[in-house]
Structure 1
Amino acid sequence: MSTPIIPDPGLLIISILSSRWDECWPGLLDTLEERFGKADHVSEVFAFDQTDYYDQELGTPITRRLVSFATLRPLDELADIKLFTNELEQSQANEGQRMFNLDPGFITVQRLVLATGKNYSHRIYLKDGIWADLTLMWQKKQWVEFPWTFPDYAGDDMKSRLTKMRQSYKNMLNNPQT
Structure 2
Amino acid sequence: MGDIHEPLPVQLLVAASSRYEEALLWGLRECETEYGPAAAVSPAFDFTETNYYDAEMGVELKKQFWVFEQLVDPGNLPAIKRQTNFLEAEYAGLELHPEPRPLNLDPGYITLAKLVLASTKDHAHRIYIAEGIYAEVTLSYRKGGWQPFEWTYPDYRRDDFQAFFTRCRELLPRVRR
Fold equivalence (TM over 0.5): yes
- SS for the counterpart of 1:149 is coil
CA distance in 1: counterparts of 2:99 and 2:61, whole angstroms? 17
3-state SS of 1:34 partner: helix
**Contact 2:58–2:99 (CA<8 Å) still a contact in 1?**
no
Deviation string 1:15-40 (CA, Å, 9 cap, x unpaired) is 10000123x24332221111000111
C-alpha distance in 1, partners of 2:84/2:48? 23
**Alpha carbons 2:27, 2:87 under 8 Å: kept:** no
For structure 1, the residue ranges without an aligned partner over 5 or more in a row are none
- Say whether the 8 Å CA contact 2:16–2:24 is kept in structure 1: no
Please give the residue correspondences for 1:108-123 in structure 2 after superposition, counting only pairs within 5 Å: 108-123=111-126
**Cα contact 2:15–2:65 (8 A) shared by 1:** yes
Aligned to 2:172: 169
Amino acid at match of 1:31: E
Give secondary structure in 2 for the equivalent of 1:30: helix
Instruction: Return the TM-score normalized by structure 1.
Output: 0.91
Q: Which residue of 2 aligns with 1:14?
A: 14
Aligned equivalents of 2:74, 2:36: Cα separation in 1: 16
Deviation of residue 104 (structure 1)?
Answer: 0.5
- Could you tell me the percent identity over the aligned residues? 37
Go from structure 1 to structure 2 and tell me whether the alpha carbon gap of 1:141 and 1:69 turns closer, same or farther (over 3 Å shift): same
> Size of the alignment, in residue pairs?
171
- Following superposition, the deviation at residue 7 of structure 1 comes to 2.2
Other structure's SS at 1:169 match: coil
1:119-169 per-position Cα deviation (integer Å, ceiling 9, x unaligned): 001111011110001100111111110000000001212111111111112
Aligned to 2:106: 103
Instruction: Name 2:131's counterpart in structure 1.
Output: 128
2:44 paired residue number: 45
Q: Secondary structure at the match of 2:163?
A: helix
Aligned residue for 1:26, secondary structure, equals helix
In the aligned structure 2, how far is the partner of 1:25 from the partner of 1:131?
24
CA distance in 1, matches of 2:86, 2:110: 23
1:8–1:31 CA distance, 2 compared to 1 (3 A):
same
For 1:57 and 1:78, locate their aligned partners in 2 and report how far apart those are by CA, in whole Å: 25
Give the TM-score of the pair, scaled to structure 2. 0.91
- Segments of 5+ residues of structure 2 without an aligned counterpart are none
Question: What is the DSSP-based 3-state SS (H/G/I as helix, E as strand, rest coil) of the residue aligned with 2:170?
Answer: helix
Deviation at 1:2, TM superposition (A): 1.9
